[in-house]
Amino acid sequence: MTRPKRNDEPTQLTKHDLIRMRTEDDAIESLLQTLLQKVLKAEMDEALRAGKNQPTSGRLGYRSGHYPRTLVTRVAQTGTACAAGC
């Protein structure tokens, strides 16, 4: 198996290209942050057997606030609000 040849020619990017690329990165970061928040909320609801501020007889505990956490991935570094227990 042979490797494809690298194209070592310099790439000319315009200012518009760079702005578009940065906007796409911001969109991915925002999507990742939203997805992570929803997963963490669903896990907490499942662990407590109740939604936030939802009075139920089967509730196993209460939320005790959250604090900011930073998640670093290959795609982006994003901030999220993590429940105090995680």
What confidence tens digit (pLDDT) does each residue in 1-37 have? 566 566 666 677 788 877 777 787 787 778 888 888 8
- pTM score of the predicted model: 0.57
Task: State residue 63 phi and psi, 5-degree precision.
Answer: -75, 140
Q: Mean pLDDT over residues 60-80, rounded? A: 75
- Eight-class DSSP state of 6: P
pLDDT of residue 83: 61
Domains of the chain, residue spans: 15-53
85 touches 43 (CB < 8 A): no
